[in-house]
């Protein structure tokens, strides 16, 4: 239903259009509120049920996996207790003994083998060409067993089996209780009756499944998706619920996985290994009822919107037609009386509030632009000027030196020992060391000078307004820089030594900025070659 509007009034400027729009907005808000409330309630209710189901399923599967592992560990302990110590000196007889026990209870699909106290394999069964006489002293389970402890090793790619395996080992004791060797049982993860069912099982319509995770190794031990088996877990920050599980959380939650798919997950510990099992189901499948309900609400909402629009437009046409005619008459009476200049806002109503908000937004944009300009000229780690700002200040200093007849000096500094800290303690420790270096150097810099960070561990100090003894003055400052870095730095609670090699170049107003910087750089390299922890002046 359309109204006759004066040609000077645009449709959305008219009172009729605004009232119509207001009514439609109210209806839309009501539909949206109903849509959200019902969807939210139904999703929360279903989430409680689905999470409980996932937790029960994960608990059952985790308990089953734990029982299988504990059963193998107990069996290995019984076999180790029954192994005669004198067989350790007779490999052939030892292999026959292993064969007899392996064939009686073949739970260790990848075989059994025995090592001596050095971790060298004495005999195995089934016989694998790369296992006998192999040195396994570096394996965690061998170390624990030779130390007298029964242990379940971390899942590894078997050297001899050439597939993902779970090793476990028990110590072999003689009559005096001394360790004579280690008995190792190896189970392939995909062996029938072990983790093969987990890797073949899916939840729901095939899109959900299981993950078996070793948090200490940050490894997916087994998974319903074959391409995830024996792959590293995602880094921190990718999946918030996974990060909590890696930190020890056990329970349920809704999260977005590394592939960007929202899913309902339940985490349960496998006690014998420290692993945890994840049962996961995509939210689109878990909350399929919610999606169908939302579709129903949308269809009915659109119908209600159309009915209201038809009734409201008819009602406003009948009620507001006289007001529209009065507005046309008033417009004709006042035509030409509106000033050309913008009308001021005299009331602090919604329009005044909008204008005020817009003005505040402009002010905020100006502040952000100033902050961006600051970031573009300063190092984000230390807050010092960067190479761009240094170049600008160097040109200004040379121009001032040209006018006043003074001299400038550049100290090009490269840290000694920083790479060792960065490589051994990590990048965060290296960043902390750089910040501490910047703080110490900043305490000896005049307000008129510029200390900048121009590279990883490279700093440049610009000295301005120097006299004819510029090189001597720069040498004094360089020695102060060396001395201020002599006390040890505390990085990651560890005292560390950081030195500095400095190249010095001086120039006047006629000196090119690039030549001055290159000369200081050459001086730094000469200081490095001369033994570090010193300064060398280099002519331009």
484: Cβ–Cβ under 8 A, 6 or more apart, which residues? 440, 441, 443, 444
CB atoms within 10 A of CB 484: 16
Cα(168)–Cα(112) distance, integer angstroms: 10
What six digits make up the tokens of 456? 């990883």
Say what angle helices 427-442 and 418-425 make with each other, to 10 degrees: 150
Clarify whether 457 is annotated catalytic: yes
What six digits make up the tokens of 185? 């049982």
3-class state of residue 320 by DSSP:
helix
CB atoms within 10 A of CB 304: 15
Catalytic residue among 66, 414, 457, 521: 457
Strand boundaries in 342-480, DSSP class E: 407-416, 450-453, 458-466
| Cβ-based burial of 392 (10 A; exposed 0-12, middle 13-18, buried ≥19) | middle
Instruction: Give start and end residues of each alpha helix (H) in 426-533.
Output: 427-442, 470-484, 513-529
CB atoms within 10 A of CB 399: 11
3-class state of residue 537 by DSSP:
strand
Cα(145)–Cα(122) distance, integer angstroms: 15
7: Cβ–Cβ under 8 A, 6 or more apart, which residues? none
Instruction: For residue 394, report the phi and psi dihedrals to the nearest 5 degrees.
Output: -65, -45
Cβ–Cβ < 8 Å for 20, 1: no
Supply the residues annotated as catalytic.
Answer: 457
């Amino acid at each position: 239903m359309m109204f006759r509007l004066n040609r000077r009034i645009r449709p959305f400027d008219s009172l009729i259009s605004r009232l119509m729009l207001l009514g439609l907005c109210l209806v839309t808000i009501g539909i949206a509120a109903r849509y959200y409330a019902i969807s939210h309630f139904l999703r929360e209710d279903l989430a409680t049920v689905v999470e409980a189901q996932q937790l029960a399923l994960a608990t059952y599967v985790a308990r089953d996996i734990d029982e299988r592992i504990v059963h193998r560990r107990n069996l290995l302990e019984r076999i180790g207790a029954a192994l005669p110590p004198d067989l350790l000196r007779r490999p052939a007889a030892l292999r026959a003994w292993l064969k007899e026990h392996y064939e009686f209870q073949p739970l260790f699909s990848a075989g059994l083998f025995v090592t001596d106290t050095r971790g060298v394999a004495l005999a195995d069964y089934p016989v694998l060409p790369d296992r006998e006489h192999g040195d396994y002293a570096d394996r965690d389970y061998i170390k624990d067993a030779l130390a007298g402890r029964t242990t379940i090793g971390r899942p590894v790619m078997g050297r001899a089996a050439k597939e993902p395996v779970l090793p476990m080992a028990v110590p072999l004791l003689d009559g005096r209780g001394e360790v004579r060797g280690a008995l190792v049982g190896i189970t392939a993860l995909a062996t029938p009756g072990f983790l093969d069912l987990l890797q073949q099982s899916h939840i729901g319509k095939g899109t959900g499944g299981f993950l078996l995770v070793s948090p200490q190794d940050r490894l997916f031990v087994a998974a319903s998706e074959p391409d995830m088996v024996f792959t590293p877990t995602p880094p921190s920050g990718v999946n918030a619920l996974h990060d909590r599980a890696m930190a020890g959380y056990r329970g349920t939650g809704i999260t977005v996985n590394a592939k960007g798919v929202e899913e309902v997950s339940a985490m349960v510990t496998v006690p014998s290994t420290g692993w945890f099992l994840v049962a996961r189901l995509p939210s689109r499948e878990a909350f399929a009822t919610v999606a169908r309900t939302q579709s129903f609400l949308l269809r009915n909402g659109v119908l209600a919107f159309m009915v209201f629009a038809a009734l409201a437009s008819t009602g406003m046409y009948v009620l507001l037609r006289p007001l529209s005619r009065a507005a046309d008459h008033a417009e004709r009476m006042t035509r030409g009386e509106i000033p050309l200049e913008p009308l001021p806002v005299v009331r602090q109503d919604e329009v005044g509030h909008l204008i005020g908000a817009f003005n505040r937004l402009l002010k905020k944009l100006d502040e952000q632009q100033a902050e961006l300009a600051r970031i573009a000229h300063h190092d984000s780690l230390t807050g010092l000027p960067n190479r761009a700002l240094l170049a600008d200040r160097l040109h200004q200093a040379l121009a001032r030196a040209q006018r006043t007849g003074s001299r400038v000096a550049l100290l090009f500094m490269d840290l000694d020992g920083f790479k060792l800290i960065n490589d051994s303690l990590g990048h965060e420790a290296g960043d902390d060391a750089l910040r501490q270096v910047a703080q110490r150097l900043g305490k000896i810099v005049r307000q008129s000078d510029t200390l900048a960070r121009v590279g990883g561990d490279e700093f440049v100090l610009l000295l301005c307004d120097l006299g004819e003894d510029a090189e001597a003055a720069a040498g004094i400052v360089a020695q102060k820089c060396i001395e201020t870095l002599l006390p040890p730095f505390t990085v990651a609670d560890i005292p560390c030594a950081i030195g500095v090699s400095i190249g010095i170049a001086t120039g006047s107003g006629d000196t090119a900025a690039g030549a001055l910087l290159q000369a200081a750089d050459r001086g730094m390299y000469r200081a490095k070659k001369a033994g570090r922890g010193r300064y060398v002046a280099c002519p331009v």
